[in-house]
């Protein structure tokens, strides 16, 4: 049987890819309250970030990661320079498999990255994280209002996001409420798109081997709020 492309990719990028223990213990671990799940670990890290705390990278961590990676969570987030996942969740090298684009939307390339992380790195949690005052979502709202033609490849992105927020425009919501609701809807549609557009991920999710989560990062407070199902 010929090895699959993803198997070859895993062999090339991961080598042996052994699970790696975290080097620097967090304050929660030191006090016997280590988070049990990857999402709990992210949220504990976000609390540290909000308090202005940051755990430095141990000098040996880079060397430990040379032979492979074993991240605990996938984060699909917006490309906005104010929302780097590793920083807002106080995570280190090798902890987060990060995928970013404007508007945290799902496309074929992002699905391929998620499939790789879930199938070959065996990551069991995925967080789609949007944020307040998202420029991509705001531009999509404006596009829906004016029906103007976006420049360049934005012509592909803005109508895609705009289709999700179009029904909101008829609700006469205040501008801030409209923007926040649009961000939430965009996250939920990205979550729905994952199993709908990828048969592989649909099967992995159905078997309980990949859990999906949504969250919104607040630019003002620095806090991430998880969305309910």
Q: What angle do CA 150, 154, 156 make, to 5 degrees?
A: 105
Question: Order of strands across the sheet with 125-131?
Answer: 96-101, 73-78, 125-131, 211-217, 224-226
What distance in Å separates the CA atoms of residue 118 and residue 124, rounded to the nearest whole number?
Answer: 7
64 pLDDT band (50/70/90 cuts)?
confident
Q: What is the pLDDT of residues 27-60, one digit of tens each?
A: 344 444 555 799 999 999 999 999 999 887 788 8
The half-sphere exposure of 200 on its side-chain side, counting CA atoms within 13 A, is 12
Cut 0.85: pTM above it = no
Higher pLDDT, 4 or 137: 137
pLDDT at position 204 over 50: yes
Q: Where is average pLDDT lowest: 9-18, 37-46, 125-134?
A: 9-18
What distance in Å separates the CA atoms of residue 168 and residue 106, rounded to the nearest whole number?
Answer: 21
Residue 98 has a pLDDT of: 98
Domain annotation for the chain: domains and CATH numbers:
27-226 (3.40.1050.10)
Please report where in the chains the tokens 């430095």 appear, as a residue. Answer: 56
């Amino acid at each position: 049987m010929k090895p699959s492309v993803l198997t070859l990719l895993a062999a090339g990028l991961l080598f042996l890819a052994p699970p790696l223990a975290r080097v620097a213990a967090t304050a929660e671990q030191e006090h016997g309250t280590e988070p049990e799940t990857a999402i709990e670990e992210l949220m504990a890290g976000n609390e540290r970030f909000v308090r202005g705390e940051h755990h430095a990278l141990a000098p040996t961590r880079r060397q430990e990661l040379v032979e492979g990676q074993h991240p605990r969570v996938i984060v699909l987030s917006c490309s906005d320079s104010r929302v780097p996942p590793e920083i807002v969740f106080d995570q280190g090298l090798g902890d987060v498999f990060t995928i970013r684009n404007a508007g945290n939307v799902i496309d074929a390339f992002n699905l391929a990255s998620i499939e790789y992380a879930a199938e070959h790195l065996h990551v069991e949690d995925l967080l789609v994280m949007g944020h307040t005052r998202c420029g991509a979502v705001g531009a999509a709202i404006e596009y829906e209002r004016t029906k103007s033609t976006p420049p360049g490849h934005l012509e592909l992105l803005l109508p895609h996001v705009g289709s999700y927020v179009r029904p909101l425009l008829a609700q006469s919501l205040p501008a801030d409420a409209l923007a926040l609701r649009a961000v939430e809807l965009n996250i939920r549609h990205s979550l729905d798109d994952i199993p709908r557009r990828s048969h592989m991920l649909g099967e992995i999710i159905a078997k309980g081997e990949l859990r999906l989560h949504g969250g919104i990062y607040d630019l003002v407070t620095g806090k991430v709020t998880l969305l309910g199902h």
